[in-house]
Each structure stands twice: as structure tokens, then as C-alpha cells.
Structure 1
Amino acid sequence: MDDIVKQALAKWPNVPSCTGWLMLDRRGNWRMRDEAAQASGAPGVPIRHEALLGFINRNYEADERGQWFFQNGPQRVYVELAYTPWVVRLSAHADGTLALHDQGGGAFEPAAVFADEDGGILFADRSQPARIAVLHDHDLEIFSDHATLADDGSLSGAFHWSVQRTLPLQSVRRDQVAARFGFVASPAAQV
């Protein structure tokens, strides 16, 4: 968390939280949702300002109930999650190594990989509790180039992360991801 944010929290400790105004979409874009977007269920307008994106990413965390928020100075802005609290991009380097990075650009080291019933790929890391991230859909081809899928039509198989590490591909139901990984996708009703 930025020092300026910590100072604002100390100076104004009782600023009410807000909900519904910020969303992390399925592709890792932060979106600002005005009242009209909230009322219609629209995702809102993508935030493109690099300094603001950096500020959001540095001050993004979860509370004790698994509700993700952006600490905007003294105000906690709870985030609507289109799927998971993290979205990762997968890249393959010329030497054959793979890398995962989250929506803020941070490295993401996978410990487990899952496939949901819609073909979405999710990665969990080794942190406690585990961070769960959905793979950006533009990177599914890279994933499939490094995966071995079962011939029986099930969502099982293996993901070859490196020469030394192969992760079994586990199935997960999309509607169970939040409960399994301890986060709240829509904190508006719970704040």
C-alpha cells in the first residue's frame, strides 16, 4: 500500500466505503462504473490512464471476508469481479520457457491449474490463501500448445509449465470458484 494512502487512512479513519463503481473484467481491465452502468448491469468504461492503473494495482487487496477492494486514500472502493480477483497473461519465450503475469504486471507462479465447464483456464499460486486467476482468453492457444488433454472429452489432462514441472489439469465448476478460493465476486450486497 502506498505511503500516501496510509497517511490518508490515519488522518481520516472513518470514511465510508463505496461499492459498484469499480470492476475488474474477465480480461483484466479495470472499469469505472457510473450510476447508469450500475443500473443497467453494464461493465463500465475501461480505465486507460497509466498512473491511475498503477495506483489501483499497488493498492488492491482483500479484506478478512474475501472482498477485494482498492484503497483510494481513506476510502475503500470495493471491486466487482467479473470472474476472479486476478487475471493472468501467459507468454512463451523463444527458449521455450513460459511466464505468467497478473493484471498489474506481477509474476504469478502456478501451483495448480483448473478448467471450468466453459473452457476457462484458472491458475492458483502457492500463497496462503492461494490467489486464483483466470487466464486471459487471448492466451488459450499458448496454453493448449503446452497442455495434454484427455481423449475422453473430460476436462482433464496436464499442463507442462516447465521441463521439471507438469501440473495436473483439474476440473472446477465456475459457480464454485469463489467459495472454493474464498473470495466474494460482488461485495456490494455484503459491505
Structure 2
Amino acid sequence: MDDIVQAALKKWPNVPHCYGWLALDARGDWYMRDDRIQRAGPFPRVKGSRIEHDKLLAFIGRNYASDERGAWFFQNGPQRVYVELECTPWVWRLQPDGRVLSHTGREASVDTAWLDETGHLYLDTDLGFGLVHTQDMALAAEAVEARRWTPQDCIAAKLPATHQYQRRPQP
């Protein structure tokens, strides 16, 4: 977490948490969801405004974490902004050299692989549980064929409970 964020937490320790205003889709893109967008419908049916500003994306990525309930958030100074997840808390990008990077750019080490009933591939890593990006399935297939990963079968609807994360955090 950024030093400036930790200092803000000490200075203003009782700022209310924020819910519904930030979301992460299955491709690793962040979305702002203001009141109008929230009234228009649930995420991901109504996504909101895609965040594209590089410095803001980096700031969110450095200050992205989870609480004891498995609810993921972005610590925005003194305010904790909880994240609605379309799928999982991490979206993995596979690199040609075999590395696995998160949607925030952090490198991860793979512990286990999972394959759901619709063919989505998930990785449990030292950072946590996430979905492999759809554009990286050729590299994923190479890893499976090389026996670096042996996917276990899973049911997508059971993944949040099994891997202890919340898709829609509530106050």
C-alpha cells in the first residue's frame, strides 16, 4: 500500500466505506459506477465508465487488497472502495516466457489450476485466485500440454465459497 494512503488512514481513520462505485470485469478492466449507472442496472450488465488513465490504474493496482471477509477493495486514501467482481478478484495474463501477471501487473506463482463446466481456466496463486484472460488460452493450453498445470474440474458458481472471495461486497 502506498505511504500516502497509510498516512491518510492514520489521519482520518473513520471515513465510511464505499460500495457499488468500482467494478472489475472478467478481462481485468476497472469500471467507475456512479449513481446513475448503479440505478441503470447491476454490474456487469451495465458496466459504467472504463478507467483508462494509466496513473490511476497503477494507483488502484498498488492499493488493491482484500479484507478478512474475502471482500476486495481499493484503498483510496482514507476511504475503502469495495469492488464488485464480474468473476474473480484476479485476472491473469500469461506471458510467452511462462510468467503469470495479474491485471494489476504483479507477478504470481501458480499453485493449482481449475477448469469449470464452460471451459474457463482459473489459477490459484500466491496472490490469490483468478481467471485466465481469454486472449491467453493458447499459452494456457501449452502449459497444460507441458504438464506445468493439471487443471482440476470445478463448478463456476461454487468458486467464491471454495476460494473465499465475495463477488458483491455488502456493508
Please report the TM-score for the alignment, with normalisation by the length of structure 2.
Answer: 0.92
**Partner of 1:145 in structure 2?**
142
**Partner of 1:115 in structure 2?**
115
Q: Give a deviation string over 1:154-183, Cα, whole Å, max 9, x none.
A: xxxxx633xxxxx32101111011000111
* 1:142 Cα offset (Å): 2.0
**Aligned partner of 2:135: which letter?**
H
Which runs of 5 or more residues in structure 2 are unaligned? Answer: none
**Partner of 2:103 in structure 1?**
103
1:160 to 147, 152, 157: 147
Runs of 4+, deviation exceeding 6 Å? none
**Residues 144, 150 of structure 2: 8 Å contact kept:** no
SS at match of 2:27: coil
1:1-191 to structure 2, matched below 5 A, reads 1-39=1-39, 40-41=41-42, 42-93=46-97, 98-125=98-125, 127=126, 131-148=128-145, 160-161=147-148, 167-187=149-169, 190-191=170-171
Q: Which has the larger radius of gyration?
A: 1
Instruction: Quote the Cα distance in structure 2 between the aligned partners of 1:25 and 1:5.
Output: 25
- Cα root mean square deviation, aligned: 1.3
Instruction: Quote the Cα distance in structure 2 between the aligned partners of 1:75 and 1:181.
Output: 26
Which runs of 5 or more residues in structure 1 are unaligned? Answer: 149-158, 162-166
Please report the TM-score for the alignment, with normalisation by the length of structure 1.
Answer: 0.83
Instruction: Quote the Cα distance in structure 1 between the aligned partners of 2:96 and 2:160.
Output: 29
Instruction: Quote the Cα distance in structure 2 between the aligned partners of 1:14 and 1:108.
Output: 33
